[in-house]
């Protein structure tokens, strides 16, 4: 009988010990890149221990489950062009509806494929204007409208504007696109100072999201996908459907920038191109090891932390890249935190939606269900 009464005590003690050891491992950065310099350790047991602890904690209702809220929802209809901030938006099988459905591209003669034209190459794209009007995305520059593209792309529109599918590559992932050859964007390109042979691209089929994704969406509990949904498919997103960041992360980074470079150097969430900005949690970078979470009851899975390029250094007020890349330098001082990319800096997390065909809204509750040590993997 005494043994039965002691079971809760032993369970609580075991959970406490697991969490204490996990905390010690994390405090010593045993799973982070501080160990990469000159050390060859097998960290798999440590990773297994920490993930086991996270799994156990996920079964205990009151343990380590911060609740936050959707602060902003942002859609980028044309990759590297301005965002649209929306109050309510639909989640589709590709991510947020219309997100990165178009991309500016150039044809690489050497590779014989279309490649990306982005803010990294042309910071002036940050000064482009974009609005949604009568189901058209209208693109302007310096208070003048230049061209528009439809929110919903029909077969007739593609036949009218484009030719046959052609090969393209985005972050070393190959897929097919169509160039909207008949869409007259040359006056816009001339106004903003880009080469006239660039074209706007559309991805009718998209690309499979394989790396770090669920092995098979049909195996997920409480979800019955279509027969074609072994993996999610994205358009011109870098790879994963959704990018999520926390306003606590932005505040912490700006405090570090002010300390290192002065108050005139700062960044904004816009620089990081997220789809969802959450209010909180209080601890910066808490999302690093999120795994399963819900938005208004609908489940999402974090796939990895997001590696960062030079775009966060752009001053969106001037449309110019800041000299000496202060944001990248500051990030490099404390955000090399993933053994999957030891030389990369990370900020925010990428995620895959489990279900689709519903809408999310600003103010929706975000609830963490389970943590996991997320490790970046090469895109496939």
Q: What is the pLDDT of residues 271-293, one digit of tens each?
A: 999 999 999 788 999 999 999 99
| 67-73+210-371 is a CATH 2.40.33 domain | yes
Q: Is the pLDDT of residue 37 over 80?
A: no
Is the model more confident about 232 or about 30? 232
pTM of the model: 0.87
| Highest mean pLDDT (candidates 39-48, 145-154, 162-171) | 145-154
Average pLDDT, the chain: 86
Q: Which residue has the tokens 């752009």?
A: 314
Q: What are phi and psi of 155, to 5 degrees?
A: -65, -40
Mean pLDDT confidence for 190-215: 89
CA separation for the pair 308, 346 (Å, rounded): 6
Type and span of the H or E element at 258: helix 247-261
Residue 193's Cβ-count burial label (10 Å; 0-12, 13-18, 19+) is exposed
Could you tell me how far CA 336 lies from the centroid of its own chain?
Answer: 17
User: What does the pLDDT look like over 256-272, one tens digit per residue?
Assistant: 999 999 999 999 999 99
Domain range summary for the chain, segments of one domain joined by +: 2-58, 67-73+210-371, 97-205
Instruction: Please report the pLDDT score of residue 208 as a whole number.
Output: 85
DSSP-assigned states of every residue in 138-191: EEEETTEEEEEEESS--HHHHHHH--S-EEEEETTEEEEEEE-TTS--HHHHHH
User: What does the pLDDT look like over 212-230, one tens digit per residue?
Assistant: 766 555 445 555 555 455 6
Bridge partners (DSSP) of residue 74 are 85
Q: Is the pLDDT of residue 35 over 80?
A: no
Q: What are phi and psi of 186, to 5 degrees?
A: -60, -40
Q: What are phi and psi of 261, to 5 degrees?
A: -125, -5
Q: Is the pLDDT of residue 40 over 90?
A: no
CA separation for the pair 295, 25 (Å, rounded): 30
User: What does the pLDDT look like over 139-159, one tens digit per residue?
Assistant: 999 999 999 999 999 999 999
Query: Over the range 43-81, which residues count as b (16 or more CB within 10 Å of their CB) and which as e?
Result: beebbebbbebbebbbeeeeeeebebebbbbbbbbbbbb
């Amino acid at each position: 009988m005494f043994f039965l009464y002691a079971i809760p005590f032993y369970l609580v003690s075991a959970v406490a010990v697991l969490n204490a050891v996990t905390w010690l491992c994390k405090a010593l950065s045993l799973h982070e890149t501080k160990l990469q310099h000159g050390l060859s350790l097998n960290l798999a047991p440590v990773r297994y221990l920490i993930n086991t602890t996270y799994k156990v904690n996920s079964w205990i209702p009151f343990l380590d489950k911060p609740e936050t809220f959707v602060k902003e929802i942002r859609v980028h209809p044309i990759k590297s062009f301005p965002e649209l901030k929306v109050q309510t938006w639909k989640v589709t099988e590709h991510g947020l509806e219309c997100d990165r459905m178009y991309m500016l591209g150039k044809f690489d003669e050497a590779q014989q494929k279309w490649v990306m034209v982005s803010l990294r190459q042309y910071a002036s794209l940050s000064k482009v204007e974009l609005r949604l009007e009568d189901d058209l995305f209208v693109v302007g520059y310096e208070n003048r409208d230049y061209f528009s593209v439809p929110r919903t792309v029909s077969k007739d529109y593609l036949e009218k504007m484009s030719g046959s599918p052609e090969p393209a590559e985005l972050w070393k992932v190959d897929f097919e696109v169509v160039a909207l050859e008949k869409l007259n964007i040359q006056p816009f390109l001339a106004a903003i100072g880009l080469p006239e042979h660039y074209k706007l691209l559309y991805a009718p089929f998209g690309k499979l999201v394989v790396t770090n994704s669920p092995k098979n969406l049909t195996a997920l509990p409480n979800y019955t996908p279509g027969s074609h949904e072994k993996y999610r498919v994205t358009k011109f997103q870098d790879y994963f459907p959704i990018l999520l960041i926390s306003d606590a992360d932005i505040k912490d980074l700006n405090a570090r920038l002010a300390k290192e470079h002065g108050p005139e150097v700062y960044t904004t969430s816009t620089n990081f191109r997220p789809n969802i900005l959450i209010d909180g949690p209080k601890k910066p970078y808490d999302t690093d090891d999120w795994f399963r979470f819900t938005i208004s009851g609908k489940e999402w899975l974090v796939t990895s932390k997001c590696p960062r390029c030079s775009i966060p250094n752009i001053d969106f007020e001037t449309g110019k890249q800041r000299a000496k890349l202060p944001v990248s330098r500051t990030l490099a001082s404390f955000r090399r935190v993933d053994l999957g990319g030891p030389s990369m800096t990370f900020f925010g997390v990428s995620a895959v939606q489990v279900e689709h065909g519903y809408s999310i809204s600003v103010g929706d509750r975000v609830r963490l269900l389970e943590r996991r040590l997320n490790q970046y993997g090469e895109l496939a």
